[in-house]
Structure 1
Amino acid sequence: MDIKQLKAIVTVAEVGSVTRAAELLHLVQPAVTRQIRTLEQELGVDLFERTGQGMRPTEAGAIMVDRARRALNELERARAEVQPAPGEVTGIVTVGLLESTSDLLAEPLVTTLAHDHPGVELRLMTAYSGHLQQWLDDGDLDLTLLYNLDSTPSLNAHPLVRERLWAVAPPSAGLHADRPVPFTEAAAHPLVMPASGHALRRLIDAAAGRSGAAMDVVVQTNSMRVQKQLVQAGHGWTVLPGVGIADDVARGALSAAPLCEPDVWRSIVLGTPRSGRTPPAVEVVARELVRQINSMVAQGRWPSARIQGDGSPAEDE
């Protein structure tokens, strides 16, 4: 098993065609076919099946492609780390951002790192907390924002921000930041909610239980953007963290107010793996991400947020 074979199976899996993969790898088609067949003979299993839609990995092939992709990424990272310019921090860093924070944090993080640390190649992934935690555990992320999570055997959780959840409605509802809305009032409207099982939905369901309110959930979605679009279109109200709706409220697309009776809060943490060494490039990105978050809170751009701790990695307990 060699690097050329790993590149071949990953590329074929991504494009679904040996011909196209050969073009991308700057090889002739028979060479790519030979690399795949040699690896299949070595492993004793078929890695691909031909279908009307092209080359599709078998079950064994999907496992090999996933592992091969990670191995190639690690080799690429190692190459970047061991060939730095003098005094320059270099490397590839994959960062997870909660979907609700990406509009606020992604651009300034990229801009600052490009200016201060041009040798760092940043890769940003956005998703919900549960997906990000899984990707961190699987080794696909170097660090990530998560919420309502304590340290676990596999990761350290460094507290960053505690923020309030808001009732979100069309502009005609006239909600305002300085007039909190009781949960029962929000629940009296049709609700567009995160899908069941989502961590944010669990917070909302718990608040409904404490308030004794029965929710009329008319739509469930796994997309914050879809939640906001449906509210703007008049399908109901929703509940979201303030950071996810600040720009929408500022430009008049939505109105919003903090929830009360009960107040509903979530805590955002920086998740990092417990095992393995932390490359200098990852340390640089982690420090800058924490600095950006602290700056956004201090500027009032992160509604109803409070800094938790100093954001620096704590000692393992």
Structure 2
Amino acid sequence: MQASKATTLEIDIASDLQRWRTFLAIAEFGSLTRAALFLDRNQSLLSRQLNALERDCGARLFNRTGRGVALSDVGLRILPQVKALLSDAEQLVREIKGEARELAGRVTLGSLPSITFPIVGRLFQELRSRFPGIQLKILEGSSGQVEEWLADARVDIAILYRYGNNMPEREQALATVDSYLIGAIGDRLTKKAEVGFQALDGLPFILPSAPNGLRTTLDAMARHEHITLAPVIEADSLPIMRSVVAQERLYTVLPIHAVWNEVSSGQLQAAKIVSPSVQRTVSMAFSKSKGPDKAVSAVAAQIVRIVEENARHGMWSRSPSAAA
């Protein structure tokens, strides 16, 4: 039983340094009031934190006096260790911040237009805050262009769509994305939450031109389902696709994050394609010739965090392999 209690106490010490900072401030000032002023915190909150700390320790750390508080025998005994603990924690923070300052250089990211929007703004903010020495360069293009940049090492990191279950070497699955039929406001088909794949037969589409991963997948599924997908316009520009759908009342197929703002503001409608669904994987790939150095690894870690946050907001589903 004694060993179990000691283990529990060690975990509490490591996981809640703030309460030990409170302990140290009260010990040095000998007063909850002065400690609260020093820490810029509510005195009643400090009192509750101290009571909770004493309960976790199973001992009284301070004796209450008419003039304030004084360390108990237990408090006096652990004070040097608490000071050493907090000193080590501060040194760790300094080293981490020093490492962040040391990370520097240009990291080039190649991305598809539909993925850039929900990632790059937040990525810039995170890097400016955490790693100000890292410069971010963005190259945006079609899937074929991004693949070429990756092969030629013109980009350090590439964000791509992949179809099927097999991921290429040196790639990390980030999220699973459903495809939606996108239509103009008031359109009958896209007013529904879901639409069957068969309903796409003969619709006036604006779609990317081949070769394109989505176009290849849609054409193959159309043949399997014995329907006709014959776009009246081919365009590889995401802004053009969105504007033409809204203005000319055509249809296109996109992931929901590519039209997130337009659907939210009532400019476009989106219905998830089902029976069968059209899914793709958001993949992060690294340049084979360069390899992920510290700056590239830091950027990649931030991308993973942003993708996970967007998954919680409903833009896409977190990839099972990313969750592992």
Q: Quote the residue 1:297 is aligned against.
A: 311
Indicate which of 248, 262, 265 corresponds to 1:234. Answer: 248
Question: Are 2:180 and 1:166 aligned?
Answer: yes
Cα pair 2:167 2:173 within 8 Å, conserved? no
Q: Which residue of 2 aligns with 1:254?
A: 268
- Hey, what does 1:195 align to over in structure 2? 209
The answer to whether the 8 A contact 1:92-1:120 is kept is yes
| 1:119 positional shift | 0.4
Alignment gaps of 5+ in structure 2 = 1-96
Counterpart of 2:55?
none
Off by >4 Å, runs of 4+ in structure 1: 149-152, 174-178
Q: Does residue 1:109 correspond to 2:123, yes or no?
A: yes
Deviations 1:57-106 (A, max 9, x none): xxxxxxxxxxxxxxxxxxxxxxxxxxxx9532111100122211112111
Greater C-alpha Rg: 2
Cα distance change of structure 1 residues 147 and 185 upon mapping to structure 2, 3 Å threshold = same
Q: Tell me, in whole angstroms, the C-alpha distance in 2 between the residues paired with 1:114 and 1:177.
A: 41
Q: Distance in 1 between matches of 2:171 and 2:301?
A: 14
Match of 2:76 in 1: none
Q: TM-score under structure 2 normalisation?
A: 0.65
2-side partners of 1:161 and 1:177: how far apart? 26
Deviations 1:1-43 (A, max 9, x none): xxxxxxxxxxxxxxxxxxxxxxxxxxxxxxxxxxxxxxxxxxx
Do the aligned residues in 1 keep the contact of 2:206 with 2:231 (CA within 8 Å)? yes
Match of 1:307 in 2: 319
Give the aligned CA root-mean-square deviation in angstroms.
2.1
- 1:205-243 C-alpha deviation (Å, 9 max, x unpaired): 122122211123100011121111111112411111111
2:115 counterpart of 1:95: no
Residue number in structure 1 paired with 2:64: none
Per-residue deviation at 1:261?
2.1
Give the structure 1 partner of residue 132 of structure 2. Answer: 118
Is the 8 Å Cα contact of residues 164 and 242 (structure 1) preserved in structure 2?
yes
Q: Percent identity?
A: 24
Distance 2:255 2:160 in 1: 13
Give the Å deviation of 1:248: 0.9
Distance 1:151 1:189 in 2: 32
- SS at 1:136 equivalent: helix
Query: What's 1:180 paired with?
Result: 194
Superposition pairs of residues 150-165 of structure 1, within 5 angstroms: 150=166, 152=168, 156-165=170-179
Distance in 2 separating the partners of 1:180 and 1:210: 20
Provide the residue aligned with 1:279 in structure 2: 293
1:159-208 deviations in Å (ceiling 9; x for gaps) = 11111111011011155686211122123321111112111111211221
Q: Which residue of 1 aligns with 2:282?
A: 268
* Letter aligned with residue 165 of structure 1: S
Equivalent-residue separation in structure 2 for 1:175 and 1:215 (angstroms) = 16
Aligned length: 224
Q: Hey, which of these two has a bigger chunk of helix by percent?
A: 2
Q: Structure 1 regions of 5+ residues with no counterpart?
A: 1-84, 313-317
Q: Helix, strand or coil: the match of 2:243?
A: helix
- What is the Cα deviation at residue 276 of structure 1? 4.2
Give 2:142's aligned residue: 128
Counterpart Cα distance in 1 of 2:278 and 2:291: 37
